[in-house]
Structure 1
Amino acid sequence: MTTTSFEFPGRWVEGAGLVLGPILMLGGVLLRVDFDGFFPEQLAAFAASPGRMTASYSAFVAGDVLLWPAVMGVVRRVWPTQMRWALWGGVLVLSGLFARVFHAGINHLAFQVVDVQGVEAAQKVIAGSYGAFHVFHSLSGAIFFGWIVLAVGAWRAGVLGVARAVALASMSALPIGVLKGTGPMSIVATLGLCSALVPLGVRILRDGPPPRWWAYPLTLGVGAVAVFLGMAG
């Protein structure tokens, strides 16, 4: 029986996630930097600037989703010499990313309530349900410890130097929850994420042959079809 080696998700997906994920999260944070960070003001900001707030929250959650291949890329490079750090860091961070996507769904629904019933109704809904139990809320703590564990593993494995490992660990300070605005630590954390992962992503993308010419239009076409199908419900 022949055994073949398969590295999932592959160099291009990992590299793209390492570059685009942090940049999108930073962009999302900066787009709402001038609004107060608590949910009543975030909902009022959406009513006043729906385009900007939609772009902000969309960029943030898109970056969050792109971090899963980024984290996989870091884990695969830490694994050969620091298996336990790679395992637990990866599991904890990926679990926390799921929690952020869950919160993004609540954010989206809250913004639709603003559109349909107004700001005051949306504020009452969120205030009345804030802190309600859901299984994904239990994952919020995972991402706090996960970034620190993964950063230590990356440093011990020589994947990141001390400064960039500390920058990666600073992501543990990024607030998690429903309708979180931008505070000083949000900017510090996402800037740290960019400085830690973007150079690694660029190096990975350069370390090998480029994709075939048809991969670019195919990717754009598949993305356009996915957007269309999603809008169609």
Structure 2
Amino acid sequence: MTTTERTSPAFRFPGRLAEGAGLVLGPALILAGVLLRVEFGDFFPEQLAAFAGSPVLMTASYSAFVAGVVLLWPAVAAVTRRIGASRPGWAMWGGGLVTAGLFARVFHAGVNHLAFQLVDVEGLEAARRAVRDQYGAFHVFQPLNLAVFSGWTVLALGAWRAGVFGAGVTGTARCVALGLMSAMPLGVLKGTGPMSIVAAAGLCVALVPLGVTVLKAGPAPRWWTYPLAVALGVGAVLLGTAG
């Protein structure tokens, strides 16, 4: 028996629940992360100073944002598959570019984390100097900046052409809202500006209703999956913090 014969034709990775959760939680966490640091300046000196003065708030902000970015990959898979049903070319390019851009944002989040730890270990001025002196240094993800900017626009156009969000004004408006994510600032230690809020809110408008529809489209998880998920989450946190 071949691998193809052993695989159920109904199986889709990552699955309905992961896609639905990503569509709802990914945009919501990104919007929360953006709003939590709205009172601070946009660029790295102000962001480092904000961490020095409000470490819990800034940690929550940046953690929520990157968690939302990670949760977007199943969300993008859900949208891409729907586009691919009628517009496979748009699906391939839009989904590929957006996914590559998500990788780049996770890399930036790692640099952000290191910069914040420098504030604790070396002090604010030393951290500012280290970031300033190395800002713009080459790394392998730099070429993906184009994907970060263009991917959401291509994905939005594909969703519009495929009618993923429905026909008429509402569907078109949600496609435009999805494309607004291209305006989200990228790079290291970026604060919140007007376009950050617009981009994150647009992502919520576009994806959250689809996520609710996806989650309602099938049976709820069995009762034991909830305590199991909590136990696995707690175990993962404890194992991670233990090193």
Tell me, yes or no, whether TM beats 0.5: yes
Distance 1:194 1:116 in 2: 37
Pairing 1:125-144 to 2, within 5 Å after superposition: 125-144=130-149
Distance 1:71 1:158 in 2: 15
Q: 1:207 aligns with which of 208, 213, 217?
A: 217
Report percent identity of matched pairs.
Answer: 69
- 2:183 counterpart of 1:173: yes
Aligned to 1:100: 105
The residue type paired with residue 126 of structure 1 is V
Pairing 1:36-185 to 2, within 5 Å after superposition: 36-160=41-165, 161-185=171-195
Aligned to 1:232: 242
Moved over 6 A (4+): none
Q: Deviations over 1:29-85 (max 9, x none)?
A: 000000000100000000000000000000000000000000001011111101010
1:226 Cα shift? Answer: 0.8
- 2:8 counterpart of 1:4: yes
Q: Which moved more, 1:52-61 or 1:150-159?
A: 150-159
Distance 1:218 1:184 in 2: 40
The residue type paired with residue 137 of structure 1 is Q
Distance 2:228 2:146 in 1: 38
1:155 Cα shift? Answer: 1.1
Give ranges in structure 2 of 5+ residues lacking alignment.
Answer: 166-170
Distance 1:215 1:112 in 2: 36
Distance 2:221 2:81 in 1: 21
Aligned pairs, how many? 233
The residue type paired with residue 131 of structure 1 is G
Give ranges in structure 1 of 5+ residues lacking alignment.
Answer: none
Distance 1:4 1:26 in 2: 37
Q: Normalising by structure 2, report the TM-score.
A: 0.95
CA RMSD after TM alignment: 0.7
SS at match of 1:175: coil
1:213 Cα shift? Answer: 0.7
